[in-house]
Structure 1
Amino acid sequence: MPQFFVEAPAGIRPEAKQTMMRDITAAIDEAYRIPDVRIWLREYPADNVAQDGRAGAEPIRPLCFLEAPELHSVDARRTLSNKIHAAVHEAYDGLANTAETLILMNFYPLENAGFAGRMQSDNPQIVAAVTQLNA
């Protein structure tokens, strides 16, 4: 169920894109062990990204969003962030300012996530997985 979004410049090779998505999925799987990890890649030409009101003013800094259940361990979040950063850096090195990649982690209690017509807090398998994750 974790969802991950990457906002980055257009132009990476298909094999670099595939490697990055595989590595990010592995990092999220390691942290969560909850199935159905999805990655959404949104690519932009440089003239569609502005810094302080100037389009194309500098190399694009990738921006990432993790939308997922609560993850209480700061160490787990730190490890996850480091692995995601490494994957984005490898994929976009030379094309983007990967040294300044921002990764925003948005965590949701299960009662704030609906899936397939019911709240995740009503899904015993997900409740057990998240309870074990945060024990």
Structure 2
Amino acid sequence: MPQVLIEAPTGIQPGAKETMMREISAAVDEAFRIPDVRVWLREYPAGNVAQDGRVGAEPIRPLCFLEVPELHKLDAKRAMARRIHDAIAAAYSGLANTDETLILMNHYPLENAGWAGRLQSDDAGAVAAVRQLNA
């Protein structure tokens, strides 16, 4: 259920891409312990990214969105953010300004997440998993 969306420049090598996605998946899985972690990579040429209205003004800074269940443990969030940052930095070294990668964590209560035509709050297994996650 956890979803990771990465917005970054084009040009990453296939092996680096696979390694980054595997490492990010592991970081998210360690924090949430909920199956079905998906990583979505959206790549943009430099001419399609502007900073303060200036196209190509600086190297692209990657952006990462996490669309995930609620997680109250700050240490788990910190560790996950560090691992995600490190994976993106390794993959995009020399292609992007990875020192300033932004990671936004959008946490959803189960009543705001639908899956397979039903709310996750109606799934006893999902409720138990999130309750244990935040115990």
Pairwise same-fold verdict (TM > 0.5): yes
Q: Which runs of 5+ in 1 are unaligned?
A: none
What is the alpha-carbon distance in structure 1 between the residues aligned to residue 30 and residue 6 of structure 2? 19
What is the alpha-carbon distance in structure 1 between the residues aligned to residue 31 and residue 123 of structure 2? 20
TM-score (normalizing by structure 2): 0.99
* Alignment correspondent of 1:92: 92
* Alignment correspondent of 2:102: 102
Q: CA offset at residue 124 of structure 1? A: 1.0
Per-residue CA deviation, residues 52-99 of structure 1 (Å, 9 max, x unaligned), is: 111011000000000000000111111110000000000001100000
CA RMSD in angstroms, aligned pairs only: 0.4
Structure 2 residue identity aligned to 1:112 = N
Structure 2 residue identity aligned to 1:120 = Q
Structure 1 residue identity aligned to 2:9 = P
1:1-135 paired onto structure 2 within 5 Å: 1-135=1-135
Local SS of the residue matching 1:71: coil
Percent identity, aligned pairs only, is: 73
Question: Size of the alignment, in residue pairs?
Answer: 135
Q: CA offset at residue 17 of structure 1? A: 0.2
What is the alpha-carbon distance in structure 1 between the residues aligned to residue 3 and residue 125 of structure 2? 18
Q: CA offset at residue 116 of structure 1? A: 0.3
TM-score (normalizing by structure 1): 0.99
Q: CA offset at residue 120 of structure 1? A: 0.2
Q: Which runs of 4+ in 1 moved over 3 A?
A: none
Local SS of the residue matching 2:80: helix
